[in-house]
A and B are shown apart, each in its own frame.
Chain A
């Protein structure tokens, strides 16, 4: 079973629609992250959360919002989707007590905004 899961895996939506991407983890990690990946740009950080009550903006938070419903769940919302939000979205987790700091990634959600 996957430790970090994302739903849906693929989504096509229309401009102006509200959409939510969900991330769940069974790793017991306290920190969770949302990234978007665009060809040639690598991964860019959208939001990150240190725990349920600690949410932080990343490099490209405009047009996005997040909710940390529980330690294991971190959702990303696009309030009014636009075509340039078409991208591959990844959720990642990390345990703050790990000395080595690595993040563990979900399989990704491919979002297309028409």
Chain B
């Protein structure tokens, strides 16, 4: 069985500060991992994905995430927050066959001017 835990349903950072959104997964086999972003009144947009290539994955808008098997984590980071980063962020895990995704409960990011 697979599951995803996102620690912190709400995260606030100052503009220009580091963004760190946490994601831990549970999977019996090496998974595929994803981060999606949801802007207000929009659908989910893929930020980045881990598919067993490089453990440090770079995505759009300056975000990156590192797959750490020993910690079963896939935390999302961005060195310097921008006002436009304010959104809901979802971590998701899929098995190797990709048949189903399991989403975390989401983290709402607020960027303070």
Contact = CB atoms under 8 A, between A and B. Distances in A.
Interface in B48-96: 49, 51, 90, 94
A40 B105 CA distance: 6
Interface of A: 4, 33, 35, 40-45, 48, 50, 58, 90, 92, 94, 96, 98-108
16 contacts: A40-B9, A40-B105, A42-B104, A42-B106, A43-B44, A43-B90, A44-B103, A45-B100, A48-B100, A99-B51, A100-B51, A101-B94, A102-B46, A105-B36, A107-B42, A107-B43
A90 B100 contact: no
A39 to B, nearest CB: 9
A22 to B, nearest CB: 15
**Most A C-beta atoms less than 10 A away, residue of B44, B49, B90:** B44
A105 B44 contact: yes
A73 to B, nearest CB: 18
Contacts of A43: 44, 90, 101, 103
B101 A103 contact: yes
Nearest to A99: B51
A49 B98 CA distance: 13
Nearest to A9: B41
A97 B49 CA distance: 16
Contacts of B46: 102, 104
